[in-house]
Each structure stands twice: as structure tokens, then as C-alpha cells.
Chain A
Amino acid sequence: MSGIVSYGSYIPKYRVKPDEIARVWGEDPDNIKNGIFILSKSVPSPDEDTATISVEAARNALKRGGMSGQEIGSIYVGSESHPYAVKPTATIVSAAIGADFKMFAADYEFACKAGTAGMQNVMGMVDAGMIKYGMAIGADTSQGAPGDVLEYSASAGGTAMIIGREKVAAEIKSTLSVTSDTPDFWRREGQPYPTHGERFTGEPAYFRHVTNAAKMMMERMQTKPEDYDYAVFHQPNGKFPTRAAKVLGFQEKQYKEGLLTPVIGNTYSASMMTGLSAILDEAKPGDRILAVSFGSGAGSDAFHIEVTEEIEELHKRNVTTVRKMLEDVKFVDYAIYAKFKKKIVFGEEVE
């Protein structure tokens, strides 16, 4: 059975607090903190983008798995902030990890679930015998328009999952997706910032897809919430995944390990995958994980995962864990954040 052979994440070092953003836009920071439960969000350096974050995550995954880039038969990078509109991030990653010329690669876009769509794709290739190991990456340096509520959450990070049939540390026993045409959040070609349907993003979009995908998976696997040691959902803010978990019948101890948005913000395509990465850092053989992503537009990918004894080998490797990345941070003010995120624009000739 195919599953996760290794995994690696990368979260930029810089953080900005909602207090800073609220101060600039005349909002009440407590409203933000209580309303969407975000206490800080990650900020990429000016020299970081989805490609660099993907490469760092990919390298962490290879290092943790004790693997070389040449063992990777396919790379799919899911993101809604690929540095190029045309020219793949996956090729940059493949060159940076020294992957073979003979390989499968492409970029994916399905809002925040493009990374998990890549996981499903790689699983299929592995199970079909097309490749031995493949890599799926979810990474973003997501955009939030200045002053928009998204600005409090849109952050940066990435996670790479290496999927194969040998040395599997977390078996993916089953996966399924739900899909509908729901315009809850989008970004038109050429537009710098996305547009969202505000409260419309809740019930008809996030909750409908996430909870239905989760229920379908539990039905398929004949499981109940209490059968899982961990549950992780897409995290557009701190509130939505908590509510979805409660609606489904999960307890805090099951979802708290994978709930990262309150401290790193919404890493979009990396959101659920990085939560899963944090869980795998802690998981023990035999642990069961329910993981459900969500992509606006809209759809959800659900995974039923069971951890094997191989996880202990991965824990022995000297690779930075997600928790460690949460500790080693530097806070910046809004001005530095705006400079880093290139919200302060200066003439084309100088960059």
C-alpha cells in the first residue's frame, strides 16, 4: 500500500502580529484575534517565494528520508502563488534537488488544496507502478490585499510529502475528493490579490466540503471520530477548522497538534499538509490520522492515514520539526512586512 515515505516542511522565519496590521488599518486587534483566532502569521523574506519554500521543504523531506533527489520520479507543486504564471515551479525544485532528467513534473492549482491534489496524483502513479517514489508539495506565499481581512491570515510556508510503496511511514489507506463549482474565493488572471465572498466562504464552501468529505471517508472506512488519534483540516483561520472538528465530533486533543494557523497564519496550499507534517513529527506507530484539505472553488481531499513503525526512523533524523520552526522566529512591524511582501513598490528598473 502506498503512503508517506518521508515529509518535510519549511516556514519562513519572520512573523507579523494582527495588532500591527490592525494598527495601520484602524481595526480592533482583539476583534481579529477573537474573530478569526490568528495571533501571528509568517512573512516571507524578500528573497523567498513559492519556489524557494518548495525547495527547502523538499530538501527537508529528502534529508528526513535519507534519500537523494535522483530517487524521486515525479514532482507536483500545488500553489496559488507560483512565481511564474507560465513556467513551472516543479522544474526549479527538480533542478535544486538534483532530480533525474527522466521524470514527471507539473504545477497544480486548486486554491488551497492543490498540494493534496498532488499527493493523490503521486499515489496513483506509485500504485500504478509508474514511479517508485514521487513528491507532492503544497507551498504558498499567499496574497492578501492591504486592509482586507485576508491580510491578517495570508502567510507563507510549504510542505513536501514523498510518497511510495517501500519504507512507508504513514500508510494512506484511502483518499477521496468532493468537488463543486462554488465561487467562494478566486483570483482572476493578472490580478494581484484574491477576492472572496466574505461569509459565503463559510457554510456553502468550507464547511460543506470539509465536513462532507470527512463524513464520507469515515463512512467508507467505517470509522468514528474517536477512532482517530489526530484530525487535521484546512486552516484558513483558527476558527473554521476548530468548528468543523467540533461539528464532526472531534475533541481538542485530536486537532490541536495539527492546528497551526493561530501562530503561522494561513499557508494556503501548505496549510493542511503542514498540519499533517506537525502531527507526523509527534505520531507513534499505529496512530490514525484523518486529514481533510479544502480548496476554494471548491473541493476537499480527505485522507485516512495510519502511521507505521518506519516513523521512528524518520524521527531519528536530524531535520527541523515544525514545532522547532515555530520557536525560531523574528517579529517585524507592518512597514517591514510591507517592504518584504513588495506591497511597497518602487520602479521596475531597480529590481
Chain B
Amino acid sequence: MSRGVYIIGSGEAKYGELWDRSLREIAVEAGLKAVESAGIRTKDLGAIYMGNSLGGDISMQEHLSALMSDHAGIASEFVPSVRVEASTASGAAAFREAYLGIKSGEYEIAMVGGAEKMTELYGSEIIDITSSIIDREWEAFTGATPAALAAISARKYMADFNVPREILAHISVNDHANASLNENAHFRNKITLEQALNATPIAEPLNLMDCAPLSDGASSLILASENYVKEHGIEGVKIMGSAMSQGEFALHSRKSLYTVEPTRIAAETALKQAGIGIKDISMVEIHDSYSIYGLMALEDLGFAKKGNAREIVENGIGIDSNLPVNPSGGLKAKGFPYGASGVGQIVEAYNQLKNKAGKRQVKNAKYAMTHSQAGSGAASIVHILGVE
């Protein structure tokens, strides 16, 4: 018999360029904050799931499950620990594994960590390494980078739907505005539309302000079973829907350059599990590693028809709008530590639903949707959280 699963605590290390902090330090900080916030002790943990994308390439450190467990002082409890990798959706994938572990009845409490240290390398080497998230043999080898593929999608999208650069820029402007209210965000400066439009080109038509930064960061959540929550009288946030869908790896293998079919399928599935409609969503955290992916996500998640995301954007996506998008600051401004972001989005949703989001609190937040995308859209993970 399946059981309900709840989030009962969250913790986060600040996102940004953390020159003086190591991968293990930030991972442990987020994890222990989450444990503290949940009011549990580490000996209560049934399992640890670590989301990380590029630790092996950037820090030459795999086996983050052991690193996290040991340095959080949990090794003496001999708790099972595993690292989950699904590229830029690693964090969300780790969260989903923890959810499934509890839902199955195997564990009562699990810790999810997402950590990434993106700034250990400098120069163009990091561009090569981040290109591990796309097909090395048939995309990266030929000169493709994650930004280049997003730009190829953007150019086609803009041409087919006659969408100007301004619409893309709005996604980034909104992220920066929200991040200015988030003390854990990488960038806390607001940007104007002009600044967003006139930044240095990265991969045309995308410029620096269309691209999420290389951030260090770690986020963590504690999940608990329905039994545990009831027994201890904890008011958790319920995981109402959790879905992942995997499609073609390389962008050139897909039917459309601007439809991420896995996003559409995962959203549909998650909404069905939650028993709610897309209009019931109070806020959404979308995977806007590139501004174009933000527009594509709004459409593929079901908020707009294909090519119509501009209507949502033009109607406003700020914290006080009908559809607050990325109140955390999103990948562009809260920051983009690959394996942490998927957890970070859920940390934001959790805090919003717990009414603990401070200045960026979305009013009457009841249902939150989070969307994490792997690579150029090979896979998507959608979660729906709610308070009853």
C-alpha cells in the first residue's frame, strides 16, 4: 500500500561564487540545516540521497554519498547513502528517489541533498565540462555547448512564433527582481530590460543575461512518511505529485527544437496524481537555465499553448501576479549549481507553502509546481507540493 510523503524540513547554503568553501562544506551545511529545521536527529535518517551532476569532472570527486554521510557525522549511524545523477535535474531526481523510498514503505525519514561546486575550474575548461550534460560524441564534439543548443532552440522559436528578444529578457528580469529578495541568491541585483537586452553575446541570439551563472551551492530537504508526520504532529508539506519523463538525448534527435516532450508528460502525470488542474497552481519554479527554456517550460507545463508563453510573460510573472514564476530568483539569479538546483526549487516551494518566504512570499500559496530539466531537455522532473 502506498503512503503519503511529506517534506518536514529544509536547509540551504548560500548560492554563489563561494571561493572559500569546499564542496563538502556546503553540502554538509545544507544537510545539517535541514536536519535542524525538521527537528530530527541524524540517527533518525533511513537513507540519504545526494544529487550531483559534475563532481567527478569538476572536483574529481565521485562518491558524494560517502562524502556527505561521513562529513555530516552520520557515518557512525551506517545509514544507506547514494548519489543520484540526472545531469542538471540530479537534485530533483534525488528528491524523487527519496520520495519513492518512503512511499514504498522502506524508510520513514530520508534526507535529500543537492550540491555542486561549479567554480573550482577557470577558463574555457568549464565550458567543455558542462558540455557533459549534452551528447559528447555527436553534439559537444562538434562544438556544441549547452548555451549553443539553447540558442539554436531560441532562434527557431523566435522565428516560428515571431517572438522578440524582449520576451526572453523578461524571464531574466523577473528572476533578478525576485532574487533581490532572497538572501541565499547568487545575484541580488535587479536588472532592467535594457541591461538584459544589451549584455555580452554568449551564443546568439542569447546573451549573458539569458544564461544562468556558474554557481556553487547546496540545498537539502528532509522527507518523512505520513505515519511519522502524524505520530509527531508535524505540519509538513505534502508531495502530491512526482513524475519524471525521459526523451531523446540529443536536441537534433527530437521532433521539435522547442518542445520538451518530457516536460509535457511529467506535468500531465504529476497534475493527475495531485488531482488538480494547471489553473490551481499558485506558483511555479521553472528550469530557466537559459531564458528560452523558461518560455518553453511555461508552455510544455501547460500554462500556455505552444508559442503563446509571451502572453503569460506580458501579463506579469512577478510575485504578486496571477502566476508567480521563480519567486526564488530562478536559475538565472538565485543561481545554477547543477545538482543542487532541483532541490533548491523544492526548498523554495516548501518555504512558500509554509508561509516562510519572507519578503518574496506568494500570497495564499496552496499548490506549488517545480520543474527541473536535464540537459537541453532530454528529461524533465515535475513535482507538485501542497498544503492541506
Contact = CB atoms under 8 A, between A and B. Distances in A.
Contacts of B123: 349-350
A349 B124 CA distance: 10
Contacts of B124: 350
A350 B128 CA distance: 11
Interface in A327-351: 349-350
Nearest to B143: A47
Contacts of B125: 349
Interface residues of B, number: 3
Interface size class of A (residues with CB under 8 A): under 10
Nearest to A47: B143
A349 B125 CA distance: 9
A104 to B, nearest CB: 31
A350 B125 CA distance: 8
Interface in B88-125: 123-125
Interface in A299-351: 349-350
A152 to B, nearest CB: 33
Contacts of A349: 123, 125
A350 B121 CA distance: 13
A350 B127 CA distance: 12
B120 to A, nearest CB: 15
Interface string B125-162: 10000000000000000000000000000000000000
A350 B124 CA distance: 8
A344 B123 CA distance: 18
A337 B125 CA distance: 25
Contacts of A350: 123-124
Interface string A276-311: 000000000000000000000000000000000000
A339 to B, nearest CB: 16
Nearest to B125: A349
A312 to B, nearest CB: 40
A321 to B, nearest CB: 30
A346 to B, nearest CB: 11
A349 B121 CA distance: 13
B55 to A, nearest CB: 21
A349 to B, nearest CB: 8
Nearest to A350: B124
B290 to A, nearest CB: 25
B128 to A, nearest CB: 10
Interface in A46-84: none
Interface of A: 349-350
4 contacts: A349-B123, A349-B125, A350-B123, A350-B124
- Which 4 A-B pairs rank lowest in CB-CB distance, beginning with the nearest? A350-B124, A350-B123, A349-B125, A349-B123
